[in-house]
Structure 1
Amino acid sequence: MPTATLAPSWSAPVPPGIPRAAASLSGRRWPGMAWLLAGLCALVALTGCGSLPKDVDRPVSRALSAPQGTPLGQLAASLTPRTARAGDSGFALVGSPNEAFSTRLALTQAATRTLDIQYYAIHADASSRDLLRAVRQAAARGVRVRILLDDFNSTGRNALVMGMAFVPNVEMRMFNPLPGGRGAGMLRAVGALGDFQRIQHRMHNKLYVADNAWGITGGRNLGDAYFGTADGSNFVDMDVLAVGPVVRAMSASFDRYWNDALAYPVQSLITPQELRRLRDVSTTPEQPPQADHGAAPGPAQASAAAPSASAAPSAAAAQDPAATLPGPADLRSLPLIWAPALLLVDQPSKLVPEQNDEHSEDTVVDGMLHLMQRARGDALIVSPYFVPGPQMMKVFADMRQRGVRVRVLTNSLASNDAPLAHVGYARYREALIRLGVELYEMRAEQGAKLDRTVFGSGAGGSKASLHSKIFIIDGRVISIGSMNLDLRSKLQNTEIALVIRSAALSREATAKIDDTLDDSAWRMELTPEGQLRWKAPAGASFGDATSEPDASLGLRMMLQLLGPFAPDEML
């Protein structure tokens, strides 16, 4: 049975449940149809299928049982207002990429006992390198570090992150691993096609917990595109920082996954010598090994001291994207809002097809649908990959019949980093508009206005791709997590979400979303002739459109060709 953890002061509006995760390629969403295309290569590329190790030793470990005695625990207690009710937790929205990096760095540097880090993807790039350097420093001063990473993206250069497993005081496990080598992601995926159904199920959960006292969850993975320093396109995302009782629920969720049979210690999957060879192959003359751009040290360097944070930047560092990253946030100055909360998280067994009932209504996505069905006046939804399917369409129809205003912000074809997901969404677009759903698509070319969009921007390129997953019901209940409103999140993968009953937090998030709707998104309409029209906001620097705006001819053709054939659950 999946579980939900409820702060004692709140009677939950959602039944206990927890859902799936959205998969990605290189940390971004992996479109399911690509599996079908990969199958065409199988006869040529499949030179032999590996197998996972047997009788793996997985020592059981648990979160810190008494966080109150740590400096972070004491800080949490000192920040708790006298007006807080028993069981309330403190929350702060983490919108901008700078805040996302600085809060994680602050928790890492302030931890004295434990760090628990769970992600779908950790990219071997400059921002992850700097953050994981701080994690190594924490381990060097005696902090027990546990890193749990979904295995799908751990190929090529990204596999170098697994070198963290060989750092003293750091344990690292890979969730639901694929057998075979890690040199090329596509060949590895093709080599695992014999277990196609299991491989489609991925762990999409995101957690960053320090001393079981402070934690972060939301939509972001770890990498330049999530911290605003990538060249070209960056993700527009939202996390939430939590302190107090709900963090114990976050740690309990981490423990459940960490101790599951699907979590394999890195040492059972790869040797230091294999990591060294991968590092040598993936290093280019422009990225010498000593630059450590792989985010984690090579096994031979694992015990080496990290550079001093106070060292003067070198000339090379001046051109390093990480040079634009901020220092740690001041945790004492964060404007925490105290409220009751519920954590929803899918059971790990959801990733085992033979143990997973596809018709179960006990997932995180189902929890969100139940929450939406309780809306009395307004529902505001942000979902980058939005493929409703018949069940969700019925929920929307019922809400509209009850007079509930429904607004949805999703990606446009041009801003979507997974264009095939847009195929599934596009087939429901006209029906949603006819139901009276107010449908908005975010513009990819943000330019200077990126600083004003929903969640802020970073120093990278001006293109943006929506990645936030937010639900706000009646202006008083807000959910932030890893799930999308699509069948992949419902059926395929595991997800996590914080549901918080707070009018203040809901207002803050709504204001940020409204800024995007007013500045950087088209509202979808139907002309009197029944044709789609993209309506630009009044005074916007861009205009209306009658076909997928800013999208290339190739993308538009793909939408037309694949639209009739792609199944919703594979997108």
Structure 2
Amino acid sequence: MKVTLERKHISSLSKRSFIFWLLLCATALGGCALPALDKRAQSQAFPPSKSTQTGIGQSVTLLAEHLNKATDKLSGIVTLEDPVDAFVARALLAEASELSIDLQYYIWREDIAGKLLLRTLIRAADRGVRVRLLLDDHGSSGMDKTLATLDAHRHIEVRLFNPYSVRSFKSIDYLTDFQRINRRMHNKSFTVDNQISIVGGRNVANEYFGADNGIQFTDLDVLAIGPIVDHVSKDFDRYWSSISAYPIEQLVEASNKEDLRSLGMELESTVLSTEAKPFISAIKASPLLNDLQNQVLEPVFAKVNLVSDDPAKIFGPTPENGLLVQQLDQLLGSPQRSLTLISPYFVPGDTGVQLFRDLEEKGVEIKVLTNSLEANDVALVHSGYAKYRRPLLEAGVQLYELRKFGAIEATPQTRKTASIGSSEASLHAKTFAVDSNTLFVGSFNFDPRSLSLNTELGFLIESPQLAMALETKFDEQIKQAAYEVVLNENKDLEWIEHNGAETRRYEEEPNTSFYQRAVIGLFSFLPIEPLL
């Protein structure tokens, strides 16, 4: 009888506990709707009439005049291939800012690179510079307290794009609002005084700037001056004022001045760390600002178009011509001679394969570089790509996969020892050249997620010089940095590794285990391609 009573008591407790947790979850799911935006502050980029009066603005004007370039028609482009140079450019421009800094990123981490750049933002704000920081909520996970503290500065405003409604247990949103929460802002831009912008593939974290002890990303940004910068600012304003951009103060408990002071002290101490020393030394040694001020910076001047998804893409259908791919199609048309494509996550789908096949039949030479399985930081995406290798090769596409230790070198004008951390490589650059005439650089991957789910941003640069530079580098370096994927005489896949004059052939994906290949094979049968 005692045992029976105890069991009934336990059963009763279990039912009550279940009901309690069920009610708690129902309350959480029903009571955590996103806040209204009717009281959100309004702001826009400062107009060129004001921004050209800053030190950076005057330097940009003098440089264009010195080079006899009409800045109302052409924009100046400097490629940032070296990861340390890419970090230094951001840090130096932030330190030189006088009016505004607008930043839009998918990922920002609180590692050495992230903290050093946060330090530059606080230092700029302390000088009275207006800082607007727009981050994707998924990519800045774990930073709520830091971001709320930054927002406590009277010259810094932080907004989160497409935020999770449940802050403490974000996974709940995947159960209750998957359609929305699965769509992310993948854009990346850094604009100072509405006079200089950096756009490209890099997020803000150690691995993007050569400071990680794990995999280093081979990536590409461009620094831009001229009329295209105002287009970047206007696009930033469009996202900043969209219905998906929520002030951090409406989502997270507010911080106070004491929290801000403590954060400032912590970030200042980061400068003294061993990990920060290479960055600090590179900043001190960089000639970038002096070259700009003394009109010796050497940008390539060209017609540049900004292509960008409408932020409404987060909710599905967009206005006509509201998608980046539609804008690319309108501006580019169809390649006539060549297409050289670099994409870390490459899932062309049947439609993409047919497109490449049609182009090849018209005589267009197509070369593609993506990550090998050993170098891919998202193995699941590789499963979506792997099944298209054979039809791509049968269509005539020249296919290459970056090796784990095969980072493509920076240009001869930059350091050969750019990486501060390890030398393992993973491709992250998103770029392509068309007909030796036009170059794209941005955040867009050739995959379903970039096409249909995430928002993206990039530049279409009409410059034979820059387009041919990418094609030349591809031809000169690719075989030593990547596996050449081919079909052998039996129509089976082979991977060719070129080491100088020596070659080695693999019948399975190089430097991978049977288990890795089996998992990829299993994933390739799952109906998940639209999510990759």
| Bucket of the pairwise TM-score, normalised by the shorter protein | 0.7 to 0.9
Note if contact 1:118-1:205 (Cα within 8 Å) is conserved in structure 2. Answer: yes
2: CA distance, partners of 1:475 / 1:56 = 49
Residue 515 of structure 2, aligned match among 554, 557, 562: 554
1: CA distance, partners of 2:184 / 2:118 = 23
Q: Does 1:458 align with 2:419?
A: yes
Specify the SS of the correspondent of 1:188.
Answer: coil
1: CA distance, partners of 2:520 / 2:438 = 35
Specify the SS of the correspondent of 1:537.
Answer: strand
Residue 377 of structure 1, aligned match among 333, 337, 340: 337
- Who is 2:15 aligned against? none
Residue 518 of structure 1, aligned match among 476, 479, 484: 479
- Who is 1:3 aligned against? none
Residue 207 of structure 1, aligned match among 182, 189, 210: 189
Cα displacement (A) at 1:566: 3.5
2: CA distance, partners of 1:46 / 1:561 = 34
Residue 443 of structure 1, aligned match among 400, 403, 406: 403
- Who is 2:299 aligned against? 336
2: CA distance, partners of 1:421 / 1:399 = 25
Q: Does 1:228 align with 2:210?
A: yes
- Who is 1:318 aligned against? 274
**Structure 1 residues 165 and 83, CA, compared in 2 at 3 Å: closer, same or farther?**
closer
- Who is 1:79 aligned against? 63
1: CA distance, partners of 2:97 / 2:374 = 41
Question: Residue by residue, what CA displacement relative to the aligned partner does 1:114-149 show, whole Å, maximum 9, x if unpaired?
Answer: 100000111111111111111111111111100000
- Who is 1:28 aligned against? none
Q: Within 5 Å, which residues of 2 pair with 1:101-120?
A: 101-120=87-106
Q: Does 1:259 align with 2:227?
A: no
Cα displacement (A) at 1:476: 1.0
**Structure 1 residues 216 and 68, CA, compared in 2 at 3 Å: closer, same or farther?**
same
> Which amino acid counterpart does residue 123 of structure 1 have in structure 2?
R
2: CA distance, partners of 1:391 / 1:159 = 44
> Which amino acid counterpart does residue 76 of structure 1 have in structure 2?
V
Q: Does 1:245 align with 2:252?
A: no
Q: Does 1:536 align with 2:497?
A: yes
**Structure 1 residues 337 and 319, CA, compared in 2 at 3 Å: closer, same or farther?**
closer
Q: Within 5 Å, which residues of 2 pair with 1:503-514?
A: 503-514=464-475
Q: Within 5 Å, which residues of 2 pair with 1:157-306?
A: 160-182=146-168, 187-272=169-254, 298-299=259-260, 301=262
Question: Residue by residue, what CA displacement relative to the aligned partner does 1:231-250 show, whole Å, maximum 9, x if unpaired?
Answer: 11011100011000000000
Question: Residue by residue, what CA displacement relative to the aligned partner does 1:386-427 show, whole Å, maximum 9, x if unpaired?
Answer: 111222222212211110000000000111111111111111
Note if contact 1:93-1:240 (Cα within 8 Å) is conserved in structure 2. Answer: yes
> Which amino acid counterpart does residue 446 of structure 2 have in structure 1?
L
Note if contact 2:307-2:328 (Cα within 8 Å) is conserved in structure 1. Answer: no
- Who is 2:8 aligned against? none
RMSD value, Cα: 2.9
Q: How many pairs does the alignment contain?
A: 495
Cα displacement (A) at 1:350: 0.5
Cα displacement (A) at 1:56: 5.0
Cα displacement (A) at 1:493: 1.0
2: CA distance, partners of 1:535 / 1:268 = 54
Question: Residue by residue, what CA displacement relative to the aligned partner does 1:79-124 show, whole Å, maximum 9, x if unpaired?
Answer: 1121547410100101010110011112111111010000011111
Q: Does 1:90 align with 2:76?
A: yes
**Structure 1 residues 101 and 540, CA, compared in 2 at 3 Å: closer, same or farther?**
farther
Note if contact 1:380-1:472 (Cα within 8 Å) is conserved in structure 2. Answer: yes
1: CA distance, partners of 2:433 / 2:490 = 33
- Who is 2:33 aligned against? 51
- Who is 1:5 aligned against? none
Q: Does 1:131 align with 2:87?
A: no
Note if contact 2:344-2:370 (Cα within 8 Å) is conserved in structure 1. Answer: yes
1: CA distance, partners of 2:394 / 2:288 = 48
- Who is 2:455 aligned against? 494
Specify the SS of the correspondent of 2:440.
Answer: strand
Q: Does 1:418 align with 2:378?
A: yes
2: CA distance, partners of 1:408 / 1:362 = 27
Residue 409 of structure 1, aligned match among 369, 375, 380: 369
Cα displacement (A) at 1:555: 2.1
1: CA distance, partners of 2:108 / 2:260 = 18
1: CA distance, partners of 2:80 / 2:264 = 33
The answer for unaligned runs of 5 or more in structure 2 is: 1-20
Q: Does 1:386 align with 2:346?
A: yes
Note if contact 2:166-2:172 (Cα within 8 Å) is conserved in structure 1. Answer: no
Question: Residue by residue, what CA displacement relative to the aligned partner does 1:336-375 show, whole Å, maximum 9, x if unpaired?
Answer: 010111100111101013x448xx7752234445666521
1: CA distance, partners of 2:383 / 2:321 = 25
- Who is 1:141 aligned against? 127
**Structure 1 residues 249 and 323, CA, compared in 2 at 3 Å: closer, same or farther?**
closer
**Structure 1 residues 272 and 352, CA, compared in 2 at 3 Å: closer, same or farther?**
same
Note if contact 2:496-2:504 (Cα within 8 Å) is conserved in structure 1. Answer: yes
Specify the SS of the correspondent of 1:271.
Answer: coil
**Structure 1 residues 307 and 560, CA, compared in 2 at 3 Å: closer, same or farther?**
closer
| Larger displacement relative to structure 2 (224-233 or 507-516) | 507-516
2: CA distance, partners of 1:122 / 1:208 = 13
| Larger displacement relative to structure 2 (535-544 or 297-306) | 297-306
1: CA distance, partners of 2:156 / 2:345 = 34
**Structure 1 residues 305 and 523, CA, compared in 2 at 3 Å: closer, same or farther?**
closer
2: CA distance, partners of 1:121 / 1:232 = 17
Note if contact 2:82-2:415 (Cα within 8 Å) is conserved in structure 1. Answer: yes
- Who is 2:506 aligned against? 545
**Structure 1 residues 100 and 200, CA, compared in 2 at 3 Å: closer, same or farther?**
same
Higher relative contact order (CA 8 A, sep 6+): 1
> Which amino acid counterpart does residue 94 of structure 2 have in structure 1?
T
Note if contact 1:117-1:146 (Cα within 8 Å) is conserved in structure 2. Answer: yes
The normalised TM-score by structure 1 is 0.80
Note if contact 2:148-2:254 (Cα within 8 Å) is conserved in structure 1. Answer: no
| Larger displacement relative to structure 2 (551-560 or 62-71) | 551-560
Specify the SS of the correspondent of 2:494.
Answer: strand
The answer for unaligned runs of 5 or more in structure 1 is: 1-41, 277-296
2: CA distance, partners of 1:458 / 1:406 = 30
1: CA distance, partners of 2:437 / 2:374 = 33
> Which amino acid counterpart does residue 440 of structure 2 have in structure 1?
S
Cα displacement (A) at 1:329: 4.8
